[in-house]
Amino acid sequence: RKPDTTGRTDGRDPRLGQNPVGVTPPLVTSHQQSYTNSSVELLKFLLTAEEVIDGRRINVAGHRPAMKETMEDSDFNNLPLSQDTFHDLWNNVFLSTENESLAHTDGILNQNLDFWENPETMQETINVPTAPTVPAISNYAGQHEFNLEFNDSGTAKSVTSTFSNKLGKLFCQLAKTTPIGILVKEEPPQGAVIRATAVYKKTEHVAEVVKRCPHHQSEDPSDNKSHLIRVEGSQLAQYFEDPNTKRQSVTVPYERPQLGSQTTTILLSFMCNSSCMGGMNRRPILTILTLETTEGEVLGRRCFEVRVCACPGRDRKTEEGNVEKNGAKQPKKRKSAPAPDTSSGKKSKSASSGEEEDKDVYSLTIRGRNRYLWFKSLNDGLELMDKVGPKVKQEIPAPSSGKRLLKGGSDSD
């Protein structure tokens, strides 16, 4: 420490402020001083910097008035080294990126001008296909020969899903996985998807949207709790709701069949019973599976009826039995009125000739002796009535009054 030459007698050095003698102030390094100067100069530059774009001077600070509007480019030469380096960085990087953004905006402006000059051409490019109001339910194989395959699970009571080829109907349990095979002859274009949509079968309900009942929705914490059809085993499944028709659907990307297989399997589950109140409410539904491109073009379509119940095997067996019974009754009705046989030489009978019909003899097969005796006694009585002839009822004159009839009966007694 140099000797005190200021003439102070209190032992304090004025260069050290209020520090007592012998206490050295904290030293400021050259790096800290350079950093502080650079920060101050950078702040000043950002507040006063100006940028030239398209021949116009635009203040970068914006909300603060320009402090040095007449600042010349030569003044940058007198700035510290750190500020001069930032200036070069500003000119080389920022202005180049700004020019590229301006060129991009010019392209957007040109597209907008093209839209106002030729609106019809622009509408063709931005047109997106929308879902139909009433989806088609007819089968369409298309050029890829799109088809479905179901597992033959039988009619046992333990099965969770079974498909009836006679009825074209799927029987499955609530929230149980149902495998469906996707079969195509030609591979669809890249990015094709399989879409599953549920609609009501009857025409009086086809306009309504198929959704889950409020009870099952309240128990489901997922985001897609209102969707009836779910895709299991795939994280790429996407759920949609059309903004116009409010119909819900789910899509899953089409996958190529594995080696040694001809089909691709997707797993569907139905999240509500067919008998749920507030939902399907015993109304039959159809499930539509379509093969679509990324633009929404339909390449193939298959449709089948679905019944969600507690015992699929039992219900399938019952419905198939009912169809067989109804089909067996129809030919019996036709045989009850056979065509007349002209080869036997019998004359055709007219409906008006009642006497000739009474003379015909018919045979009746009766099972059980007691029943046969009962019919035989009835037939004998009818034969006796025909021989005797109908009895003529004697007309008894009605009494003039009821009192006289009673009085006459009392006198006779």
List domains and CATH numbers for the chain: 147-324 (2.60.40.720)
Alpha-carbon gap, residue 180 to 150, rounded angstroms? 5
Query: Which residue is it, tokens 């600042």?
Result: 71
pLDDT of residue 399: 61
Alpha-carbon gap, residue 27 to 40, rounded angstroms? 20
> What is the DSSP annotation of 324-343?
HHHHHHHHHHHHTSPPP-TT
> What is the DSSP annotation of 67-102?
S-TT--GGGGGGS-HHHHHHHHHIIIIIHHHHHHHH
Q: Which region, left, alpha or beta, applies to residue 44 given φ > 0 means left and ψ of -120 to 50 means alpha?
A: alpha
Assigned token pair, 370: 């007691």
Q: How far is CA 101 from CA 96, 105, 353, in A?
A: 9, 6, 103
pLDDT of residue 59: 47
pLDDT of residue 99: 54
Residue 144, marked binder: no
Residue 272, marked binder: yes
pLDDT tens for residues 116-161? 555 554 444 334 456 788 999 999 999 999 999 999 889 998 999 9
Strand segments (E) across 100-192 = 147-150, 161-164, 169-172, 178-183
Q: How far apart are the first and last CA of the chain?
A: 170
Residue 213, marked binder: yes
Which one-letter amino acid corresponds to residue 170? L
pLDDT of residue 58: 47
Alpha helices in 351-401 (DSSP H): 354-359, 369-388
pLDDT in tens, the chain (413 residues): 455 555 554 555 555 445 444 444 555 455 555 555 666 677 666 655 544 444 444 444 444 444 444 444 555 455 555 445 556 666 665 555 555 544 544 554 455 555 455 555 444 433 445 678 899 999 999 999 999 999 988 999 899 999 999 999 999 999 999 999 999 999 999 999 999 999 999 999 999 999 999 999 999 999 999 999 999 999 999 999 999 999 999 999 999 999 999 999 999 999 999 999 999 999 999 999 999 999 999 999 999 999 999 999 999 999 999 999 887 666 554 444 455 454 444 444 444 555 555 667 778 888 888 888 888 888 888 888 887 876 655 666 666 655 555 555 444 44
Residue 67: which residues within 8 A CB-CB, separation 6 or more?
A: 47, 48
3-state secondary structure of 230: strand
pLDDT of residue 55: 44
Beta strands 50-53; 169-172: pairing state: unpaired
Residue 63, marked binder: no
